[in-house]
Amino acid sequence: MIVETIYLTIVLAPLIGAIIAGLWRNQVGKAGAHWVTIIGVGISCVLSIYVLLGFTHGDAESQNLSLYTWMVSDGLRFEIGFLVDQLTAMMMAVVTFVSLMVHIYTVGYMAHEEGYQRFFSYIALFTFSMLMLVMSNNFMQLFFGWEAVGLVSYLLIGFYFKKETAIFANLKAFLVNRVGDFGFILGIAAIAMYTNSLDYAEVFEKSAGLANEQITVFPGTSWSLMTVICVLLFIGAMGKSAQMPLHVWLPDSMEGPTPISALIHAATMVTAGIFMVARMSPLYELSETALSFVLIIGATTAFFTGLIGIVQNDIKRVVAYSTLSQLGYMIAALGASAYAAGVFHLMTHAFFKALLFLAAGSVIIGMHHDQDIRNMGGIRKYMPITWITSLLGSLALIGTPFFSGFFSKDAIIESVHLADRFGTNYAYYLLVAGVFVTALYSFRMFFLVFHGNGPRDEHAKAHLHESPWVVTVPLVLLAIPSVVIGWFTIEPMLFGEFFKDAIYVDSANDVLAHMGEGYHGALGFVVHGVMQAPFWLALGGFLTAWYIYMMKPSIALDIKVRFDWLYTILDRKYGFDELFQFVFAGGSRMLGKIFWKGGDQFLIDGVAVNGSAHGVGWLASVARYLQTGFLNHYAIAMILGLIGLVGWFVILQ
């Protein structure tokens, strides 16, 4: 009972705060809205950390609780319940901690914005939705949380609903995610059809017996059932976790206020797909084909979206493309069966990516909402706390030794290198090359923003100063785990037994166990790492950014002129926006117009509705001539009718 109460409190505390801040926003006012949501998320955060500590100290056991049955249909149970194990506890702690930092930060960032109470209601509701997703013990509740985070992200991306670009961005995010969610719900339907259950434990228990099951998707073809299910589920993850080609919505999500950018990109929404695949590891381990598909998509996204980040000039969009790239690393780890490495990078990335987004927001505040990094420079003199925390976040992002990102990113690259399945060589070289790209775009942004001669706008320079404490305190609190958490958690998460009950890996695919044979502590991992290619590529990317953007800025312009074709490709994001706009969106509109003109106007309106009306009118006009009102006419008609009937019977005889 106590355990159930704790879990319910973790989930419901943010929801209660969201309801109060949203429905009674006029009564509680601005202060009431932020206090009630911060307290709600704070309670959830404290209890989540308490649950996590129970698992780390060995005092807690996995709990699979069904709270109530919503519906039973033909033996299929639709339930609400919680599965809390090590994976869930880690996700709960990360989601609530980052969300709490974002709530506190929002007090300063949104202080003078309209819709202040509405924004706090939305972000608290976002936290509730993500907690429902990660704590679910069945596919129905997973789907509820999956769709709920999509709905709230739609509301938050379009928070400035009077801006046409914001409305376009949130609609784009909503529609692209619907594409992924269509595959996701088909995967869940296939699971329900073949296992007659939506409960994780039952599905995983029955899945081994379905490993050799074949189904016919198209006439004359036979497909592995588990491959179809896993690929369909992963299509959902491609939408939520923004993997190519369903990645196009994430950069446009920058239209929302900066705090929600941090929340979407660090702890909620985009991490849902990573978590889902890790949770479904017992299914994915039954399909080598699905794992290869996951691996190739992840590596492709990691490298090619990172390249786009090099040419971005909006400070938030640089960080956004960084998120796309880092999500690709996590997905690639999952495809290599290194699920623990993927969620380990999810955890470390949540801290330094939230830090980088919130630091970008601090810069935007100082620059009076100018987001173009070409108009910045020299800000470190005016915003020292933002400068040092941004430096720490950037060093963590590029995988600097001893920083958290070093441990998680190197573990992913080494895992992919050790994996033995189709696509591993392709993925490995892209991930290694991506390290150089990450360092280049990260420190291009860092040097252009914080170093150099200072802002071009003298008015902006005169009013530059450090952000208020409600902005800088979350930066400092996020910088601490960005630096140290990898050092303390790499051994239990990757080479220990922290995830032993939460993640299943077939012994033949256990690349982390193979890697662990040569593991000799965190320091040994660092020593080994500095002798590998990723470290030197990261250093090369850092030095390249320093030389081009600090020492010889003319080189950047020369490269742009010489390789204008490449710059155009990257600036246009490989044409994916045009592809979706003209082929899919345009094609859908054309198809809708055909159905409208041919189906609605011609068949329904023209033939069915108006046609029947005209037909009745024509028949009535003809029948009118038969109703003359003369008795002799009616008598003749009756005689003719009688003759006709008599003749009919004579013929039949």
pLDDT tens for each residue of 555-580: 888 888 888 888 888 888 888 877 77
Confidence of residue 405 (pLDDT cuts 50, 70, 90): very high
In-domain check, residue 272: yes
Q: Which helix (H) or strand (E) holds 101?
A: helix 86-109
Q: What is the pLDDT of residues 355-377, one digit of tens each?
A: 999 999 999 988 887 888 888 88
Poorest-pLDDT segment among 92-96, 355-359, 370-374, 478-482: 370-374
Does the pLDDT value for residue 415 go beyond 80?
yes
Q: Cβ–Cβ contacts within 10 Å for residue 76, how many?
A: 14
| pLDDT value of residue 587 | 66
Q: How confident is the prediction for the chain on average, in pLDDT?
A: 88
| pLDDT value of residue 265 | 83
Distances (CA, A) of 237 to 331, 504, 579: 9, 19, 21
Together in a domain, 418 and 374: yes
Does the pLDDT value for residue 584 go beyond 70?
no
Confidence of residue 140 (pLDDT cuts 50, 70, 90): very high
Q: What is the pLDDT of residues 614-653, one digit of tens each?
A: 777 777 777 776 677 777 777 877 888 888 888 877 776 6
Together in a domain, 537 and 490: yes
199 — phi, psi (to 5°)?
-80, 130
Together in a domain, 521 and 598: no
Taking the C-alpha atoms of residue 70 and residue 79, their distance in angstroms, rounded to an integer, is 5
| Of 628 and 21, more confident | 21
Does the pLDDT value for residue 593 go beyond 80?
no
Does the pLDDT value for residue 142 go beyond 80?
yes
Of 401, 133, 169, nearest to 275 by C-alpha is 133
Boundary-marking domain end, from 495, 517, 551: 551
Confidence of residue 459 (pLDDT cuts 50, 70, 90): low
Together in a domain, 599 and 494: no
Together in a domain, 228 and 262: yes
Which residue has tokens 């955890």? 347
Kindly state the DSSP code that residue 616 receives in the 8-state scheme.
H
In-domain check, residue 618: yes
Together in a domain, 544 and 645: no
In-domain check, residue 486: yes
Does the pLDDT value for residue 453 go beyond 80?
no
Together in a domain, 634 and 506: no
Taking the C-alpha atoms of residue 57 and residue 62, their distance in angstroms, rounded to an integer, is 13
Does the pLDDT value for residue 254 go beyond 90?
no
Q: Which helix (H) or strand (E) holds 636?
A: helix 631-652
Does the pLDDT value for residue 276 go beyond 90?
yes
Together in a domain, 439 and 582: no
Percent of the chain with pLDDT over 90: 53
In-domain check, residue 630: yes
Question: For residue 187, what are the domain limits?
Answer: 154-551
| pLDDT value of residue 336 | 94
Together in a domain, 465 and 520: yes
Boundary-marking domain end, from 500, 533, 551: 551
Q: Which helix (H) or strand (E) holds 67?
A: strand 63-73
Q: What is the pLDDT of residues 505-552, one digit of tens each?
A: 988 889 999 998 888 889 999 999 999 999 999 999 999 999 999 888
Does the pLDDT value for residue 339 go beyond 60?
yes
Mean pLDDT score, 185-200: 92
Q: Cβ–Cβ contacts within 10 Å for residue 122, how many?
A: 23
| pLDDT value of residue 586 | 65
Together in a domain, 421 and 350: yes
Whether 499 contacts 342, CB under 8 Å: no
On whether the pTM is more than 0.75, the answer is: yes
In-domain check, residue 5: no
| pLDDT value of residue 583 | 67
Q: Cβ–Cβ contacts within 10 Å for residue 640, how many?
A: 10
User: Which of 153-167, 210-224, 476-490 has maximum average pLDDT?
Assistant: 476-490
| Number of structural domains the chain divides into | 2
| pLDDT value of residue 455 | 61
Together in a domain, 443 and 585: no
In-domain check, residue 450: yes
Confidence of residue 456 (pLDDT cuts 50, 70, 90): low
| pLDDT value of residue 221 | 80
Together in a domain, 512 and 588: no
Per-residue b or e along 589-606, where b marks 16 or more CB atoms closer than 10 Å to that residue's CB: eeeeeeeeeeeeeeeeee
In-domain check, residue 143: no
Taking the C-alpha atoms of residue 155 and residue 158, their distance in angstroms, rounded to an integer, is 5
The tokens for 294 are 């996951």
| pLDDT value of residue 627 | 72
In-domain check, residue 81: no
